[in-house]
Structure 1
C-alpha cells in the first residue's frame, strides 16, 4: 500500500510504497477513505509528542472494512466504519469505570505503538496513536473500529473520530451545559467551532467566542456565538464579564492549547463555574494558574480527552445531528487533499489557513 511515512522529525513526510503486515486475529484491515489532518499531527511532526519514526501519523479516520481477524465479532467486510483516536476495549480499569476515553489499550502503551507495515529497506513502521490514518489501508484493533449506518460523506464521518467528538462532547458530556447558561469558548479552531455549535444546541443564552483570528471569529458568529472577542485587542476578561452581568462565564471550553489560553480560560470563568480543558500545546508544556481563583472560588476545573465520548452511545446521536443539519461540517472542512499533498496539508494546518483539512482517498 501507499502511506505517508514520517521518517524524521521536521523533514518532509515521505509518501511511499510500504508492505502491510499481516493482521493478527484481533485486528481489522480498513481501506481508508478520509483522514483529517489535525494540529496534533503538526506537533508530532516536530517531535513534541513522543512519536518514534518511522511512523504513519493520522489518528482519526473513516473507511470501509476489507478483512477481519478470526477473533473479531460484529464487524464485517464492506461495512462503513469510523476509526477514532481512542479504542474502547471494554475490559481495562478505565473502561470498567465508564471512562473509555482513557482506555489502557492506548494510554498504557507508553508511546510504543503497534507496527503495521515495513519499508522497502525492511524497517518496521508503526501506526501513530494506533491508527495510522495517512495510509491507503489501516491495520487496527477491533476495539478501535465502529460500524456506522449513514450516507454522510466519508470526509464528514472522519471528523467523528476526533474533532466533533472532542468539541461536542466537551459541551454535552463534560460541562453538561444547560439552557440559559453562558458559555465562553477560548480558541475557535475546529474544536472550538464544534463547541460553539454544541453550546447553541444545548440552549446557552450567551456564547462568547474568544479568538484572535478575524475569519475564525466571524465564523463562530455565523455558527451561533452571540459575542465575539479579539483577545489581541480587547481585555477578554472584561469583555466576558460585561456580557455576563459582571460575573464571568458559567462554563468555559478551552480549545486553544497554548498555556496562556488555558490560564485565560480560568480567568474568564465565574466563581463556582466550570472550566473544561481540551487543548495541548506540546508534550512538556506547563500552565501557571492564580491560586485564589483556583483554590478558593470553587471552580470546577476538568480536562477531557475526546469529549469523554463513549462511541457506541454517542455516535448515533452525533450522526443524527449532522444528518439533520443541526451540526454543520461544511464551513469547517476547509480543504481536501490527496495523499501526495500531505505536506501541503501539514503546512496549511501549521499556518492555521485550514480549520480541518482532510486527506481523501
Structure 2
C-alpha cells in the first residue's frame, strides 16, 4: 500500500509502496478513507517535535477495518472506525483515574511508535502518534479505533479525531462554559473554529476571536464569534476588558502555539477565570507569566490533550451535533488532496491558506 513517508527532516514527503505488517493479536488493519493534514505536522516535518525518520505522520483519521488480530474484540471487519490521536487502553493508571487523554499506551511506551511496515529496502517504518494516517492503510492498536455509526461522509467524520474533539473538549470538558459567560479564543485555526462553535452551543454571550488574518476572523464571526480582534492593530487586552466590565473574559482558550499567545490568554482571562492551553510550537519552549496572574488572582490554568475527551462518552454526542447541524464543517474543510499531493497540502498549511486540508483516499 502507498504511504507518504517523512524520510528526512524538512525534506518533501516521499510517496512510496510499503509492505504492511499483518496485525498482531491486539491490533487491526484499517483502510484509510480520509485524514486531515494537521498544522501540527508542519512542526513535525520541520523536526521541532522530535520525530525520527523514516516515519508516517498523520495522527488522526477514519477508515474501514479490513483485518483484525486474534485477540481483538468489539471491532469487526467492514466496520467504519475513527482513529483519534489518543488510545484508551482502559487499564493504565491514567485511564483508571478518568484521564484517558494521557493513556500510557501513547505516552509511556519505551519502544516508541510502532513499526507498521517495511519499505523496498527492508527499512522499518514507524507510525507517528501510533496512527500514521498519511497512508492508504493503517496498522492500529485496537485500543485506538472506535466504531462510528453515522450517515455523514468520512471526509467530515475524519475531523473528529483531532480538531473537533480538541476544540469541543476545550469548551465542554476543560473550560466547562455555561450560558451567559464570555470566552476569548486565541489563534483562529481549525481547533479554535470548533471551539467557537462549541462556545456558541454552550450559550456564551460573548465570544472574542483573536487572529491577525482577516479571513480567519471573518470565518470565526460566521461560525459564532461576537467580536473579532486583530492583535497587530488593536489592543486586544483593552478591548476584551472594555467589553466585559473591565474584568476580562470568563474563559480564555489558546490554540496558536507561540509562548506569547499563551501569555496573552492568561492575561485575557479575568481573576478567578479559566485558561485552557492547547498550542505547542516547539519542544523546550518556555512560557513566562507574571507571578501575580497565577499565584494571587485565582485563575485556573488547564492543559489539554485531545480536549481531555473520553471517546466512548463524547464521540456519540459530538457526532450527533454534526448530524443535527449544530456544528458546521463546511467552511473548515478548505481543500481536498490525493495522497500524491501531500506536499501541496503541507505547503498550504504552512502558508496558512488551508484551515483543514484533507487527504482523501480512493475507497476502492
Question: TM-score, normalising length from structure 1?
Answer: 0.99
Specify every segment of 5 or more residues in structure 2 that has no aligned partner in the other structure, as ranges. Answer: none
The reply to whether residue 355 of structure 1 matches residue 339 of structure 2 is: no
Q: Which residue is equivalent to 1:331?
A: 331
The answer to whether the 8 Å contact 1:3/1:16 transfers is: yes
Q: Which residue is equivalent to 2:291?
A: 291
CA 1:49–1:263: 2 relative to 1, 3 Å: same
Secondary structure (helix, strand or coil) at the match of 1:81 reads strand
2:10 & 2:250 partners in 1: Cα distance?
A: 41
1:106-158 residue CA offsets vs partner (Å, 9 max, x unmatched): 01126820000001011000000000001101000000000011011111111
2:107 & 2:156 partners in 1: Cα distance?
A: 26
Question: TM-score, normalising length from structure 2?
Answer: 0.98
The reply to whether residue 25 of structure 1 matches residue 25 of structure 2 is: yes
The aligned length equals: 361
Q: Which residue is equivalent to 1:261?
A: 261
Q: Which residue is equivalent to 2:220?
A: 220
Q: Which residue is equivalent to 1:138?
A: 138
The answer to whether the 8 Å contact 2:22/2:29 transfers is: no
Q: Which residue is equivalent to 2:67?
A: 67
CA 1:111–1:6: 2 relative to 1, 3 Å: farther
2:20 & 2:90 partners in 1: Cα distance?
A: 27
Residue correspondence of structure 1 range 148-227 to structure 2 within 5 A: 148-227=148-227
CA 1:275–1:110: 2 relative to 1, 3 Å: farther
1:315 & 1:171 partners in 2: Cα distance?
A: 15
The answer to whether the 8 Å contact 2:30/2:64 transfers is: yes
2:132 & 2:173 partners in 1: Cα distance?
A: 27
Q: Which residue is equivalent to 2:107?
A: 107
The answer to whether the 8 Å contact 2:33/2:154 transfers is: yes
Q: CA RMSD in A?
A: 0.8
Report how far residue 285 of structure 1 moved: 1.2
2:277 & 2:70 partners in 1: Cα distance?
A: 40
Secondary structure (helix, strand or coil) at the match of 1:158 reads helix
Q: Which runs of 4+ in 1 moved over 3 A?
A: none
Residue correspondence of structure 1 range 265-344 to structure 2 within 5 A: 265-344=265-344
The reply to whether residue 120 of structure 1 matches residue 116 of structure 2 is: no
Secondary structure (helix, strand or coil) at the match of 1:281 reads coil
The answer to whether the 8 Å contact 2:62/2:157 transfers is: yes
